[in-house]
Structure 1
């Protein structure tokens, strides 16, 4: 039952937002009493924590799987983007923004975990890209990996990029285009343009 509650809550939070969804609405959507929810989660914060941790684990496992396929680094970045978008369902409610606003401690903890996972993955991607001649030899991989993280999380800032004006999928594509053009060799640009046509 715990997993069912997490799954349904995740769906509701992604579509309507962490703040908007009440425990009553979650109970109604599941066809159970609120008492049943409180049997597994002491309060809404505990449920939000479980949901965000579950989402994080699923996305992390997916990223590990994509990185294990050993595709070329540019294709890998777009494959990870696709995976994240599938899990976050285009972020209609800007969950990251709501998490930051209403659950700041949880948001900071999640951001640190995201950085650790992404830093390792992005560093490996950059190093392989340089070796394969897709990325320029003179890039500072540590600096680029940090700037990449700031950018990819920054485009989810609802103050900067309001959801009524921007679609997350096209924002992600624009950001990846911006990021990769700054580090690609001519050979890498050809691969990037192939990906942009497909995406």
Structure 2
């Protein structure tokens, strides 16, 4: 039952926002009593925490799978972007922003976990790109991986990128291209241009 509650709460939180959804809403959607939810979660904050870290673990597993099977580091980053967007329901409720505003402690722990995960996986991806002559061998891998994380979290700040002006898919797509064009070799540029051309909607 705990897992079912987490799954339903995840769906509702991502569709409607962390703030909007109440414990009553979740109980009604699941056709169970609110008491049943409280058996597993002391309060809404504990449920938000469980949902947040469950989603994080799910996304991490998917990213690991993509990294193990991708053809090259450029397509790998785009595949990760697509996977994350699907799991976050295209971020239409700005989950990171809502988490930061209403559950700052959970947000801070999550951000650190995200940094650790992304820093490691992007560093590995950059190294692989350098080894295969897709990325320039003069780049500072540690610095670039930290900058990538900073940029990816920065574009989710509603103050700088208001959602009524920028949708998240556009922001992530644009930032990815911006990031890659700064570090690719001539060989990498051909791969990037071909990929963008083939995947333009």
Fold shared per TM-score above 0.5: yes
Q: Deviations over 1:113-170 (max 9, x none)?
A: 1111111110011111111111111110100000000001111111111222111111
Counterpart CA distance in 2 for 1:93 and 1:178 is: 25
Counterpart CA distance in 2 for 1:142 and 1:6 is: 35
Q: Do the aligned partners of 1:78 and 1:195 also contact (CA within 8 Å) in 2?
A: no
Query: Which runs of 4 or more aligned residues in structure 1 lie more than 6 Å from their structure 2 counterparts after TM superposition?
Result: none
Match of 1:150 in 2: 150
Match of 2:138 in 1: 138
Match of 2:105 in 1: 105
Unmatched segments (≥5 aa) in structure 2 = none
Counterpart CA distance in 1 for 2:49 and 2:117 is: 18
Matched, 1:48 2:53: no
- How many equivalent residue pairs? 199
Q: 1:1-199 to 2 correspondence within 5 Å?
A: 1-197=1-197, 198-199=199-200
Give how far 1:57 is off.
Answer: 0.5
Unmatched segments (≥5 aa) in structure 1 = none
Counterpart CA distance in 1 for 2:7 and 2:163 is: 24
2:182 is paired with a residue whose SS is helix
Give how far 1:70 is off.
Answer: 4.6
Counterpart CA distance in 1 for 2:124 and 2:97 is: 28
Counterpart CA distance in 1 for 2:50 and 2:6 is: 7
1:183 is paired with a residue whose SS is coil
Counterpart CA distance in 2 for 1:133 and 1:116 is: 26
Give how far 1:71 is off.
Answer: 2.0
Q: Deviations over 1:48-83 (max 9, x none)?
A: 000001100000000111111152110111111111
Counterpart CA distance in 2 for 1:70 and 1:168 is: 24
Counterpart CA distance in 2 for 1:156 and 1:37 is: 31
Give how far 1:195 is off.
Answer: 2.2
Counterpart CA distance in 1 for 2:124 and 2:142 is: 10
Q: CA RMSD in A?
A: 1.0
